[in-house]
């Protein structure tokens, strides 16, 4: 059994790490490189960086900090933000990122997934999916351009259909960003994760809702996700990564203990 992964998420805007609630009202958390170094030292298995306004601004992720992060951490990290071409991806990978993640650009041009996978290998191509539960219809819908409130829109894709589509096109991993739960720390949407797990045959990362150590355990044990991504509980030091991993190990989870 592969070890379950604990993944801090760093949303980046204007050169700093920020955090919002349900993708809104972002507050400044701190500088990118010191936070990345801290999480690596605490025992994170990998890091994910989202330049949250890159796609909505029509630009690629700011590459200046990518190489600085690569210099100070020795764990894998993934970078996302406005990657629309093979050239964009090649530059970010050359600066030291281990994986690149695409979200809105994949919705705009699904062939991008295949082209990236063929060029760089499926192992470093992650597709992020921003999913919103519509209580009126009882369905999960994929959203696009979520980094900018004024441009966020609901796409024609239902989440389960898009999960299957991106796998067909070569996604090597999926990060499911559950927007309803984002930043509120009431737990991951286990019902949605279980439904996605049934149709997801590549590594699945849960994102949105972690508030306690038990929430991580539930995602791993009950929804069988491969990794759990979280932001505010780590940024605000509500949960220490090393203590979390010790707890999960005592609960029978396969975890890499530092």
Which active-site residues does the annotation give?
Answer: 11, 130
Three-class secondary structure of residue 67 per DSSP = helix
Please spell the DSSP secondary structure of 37-55, one letter per residue. Answer: HHHHHHT-S-EEEEETTHH
Q: Which of 62, 150, 63, 159 is nearest to 103 (CA)?
A: 159
Give the pair of three-digit tokens for residue 175.
């990060």
Spatial separation of the C-alpha atoms in residues 211 and 181, rounded to whole Å: 10
Quick check: 155 and 141 in contact, CB under 8 A? yes
Quick check: 2 and 254 in contact, CB under 8 A? yes
The residue assigned the tokens 């190990």 is 249
Torsion of CA 79, 85, 87, 91, to 10 degrees: -10
Host H or E run for residue 250: helix 241-250
Quick check: 103 and 130 in contact, CB under 8 A? yes
Angle (CA) 160-124-36 rounded to 5° is 100
Spatial separation of the C-alpha atoms in residues 143 and 102, rounded to whole Å: 13
Q: What are phi and psi of 99, to 5 degrees?
A: -140, 155
């Amino acid at each position: 059994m592969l070890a379950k992964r604990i993944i801090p998420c760093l949303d980046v805007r204007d050169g700093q790490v920020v955090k919002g609630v349900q993708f809104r009202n972002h507050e400044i958390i701190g500088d990118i490189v010191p936070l990345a170094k801290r999480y690596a030292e605490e025992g994170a298995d990998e890091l994910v960086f989202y330049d949250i306004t890159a796609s909505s601004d029509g630009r690629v992720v700011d590459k200046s900090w990518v190489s600085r992060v690569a210099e100070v951490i020795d764990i894998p990290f993934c970078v996302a933000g406005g990657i629309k071409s093979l050239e964009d991806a090649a530059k970010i990978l050359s600066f030291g990122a281990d994986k690149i993640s695409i979200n809105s650009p994949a919705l705009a041009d699904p062939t991008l997934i295949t082209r990236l996978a063929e060029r760089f290998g499926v192992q470093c191509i992650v597709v992020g999916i921003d999913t919103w539960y519509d209580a009126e219809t009882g369905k999960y819908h994929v959203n696009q351009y979520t980094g900018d409130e004024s441009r966020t829109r609901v796409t024609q894709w239902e989440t389960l259909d898009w999960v299957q589509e991106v796998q067909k096109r070569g996604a090597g991993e999926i990060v499911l960003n559950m927007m309803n739960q984002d930043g509120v720390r009431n737990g991951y949407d286990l019902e949605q994760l279980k439904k996605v797990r049934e149709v997801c045959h590549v590594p699945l990362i849960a994102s949105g809702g972690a508030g306690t150590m038990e929430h991580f355990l539930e995602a791993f044990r009950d929804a069988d996700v491969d990794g759990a991504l979280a932001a505010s509980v780590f940024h605000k030091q509500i949960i220490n990564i090393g203590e979390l991993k010790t707890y999960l190990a005592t609960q029978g989870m396969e975890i890499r203990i530092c």
